[in-house]
Amino acid sequence: MQSTGRAILQASGGKPERKRENRSPRLVVHNSIVGYVGRMSDSLHRQVCFALYAASRAATAVYRPLLEQLGLTYPQYLVLTVLWENDGVTVRDLGRSLELDSGTLSPLLKRLEAAGMVQRLRSVADERRVEVHLTEEGRALQEKARHLPQQVAQAAGLESGELRALQETLTKVTKALRTAAR
**No. of H helices and E strands in the chain?**
9, 5
Backbone angles phi, psi at 89, to 5 degrees: -70, 150
Mean pLDDT of the chain: 83
How much is the pLDDT for 6? 41
Hey, what long-range contacts does 28-36 have (CB within 8 A, 24 or more apart)?
34/5, 34/8, 34/9, 35/9
Tell me: the pLDDT tens digits for 127-161?
Answer: 999 999 999 999 999 999 999 999 999 999 999 99
Taking CA atoms, 175 is separated from 96, 151, 172, 182, in Å, by: 14, 27, 5, 11
Tell me: the pLDDT tens digits for 95-123?
Answer: 999 999 999 999 999 999 999 999 999 98
Tell me: the pLDDT tens digits for 152-175?
Answer: 999 999 999 999 999 999 999 999
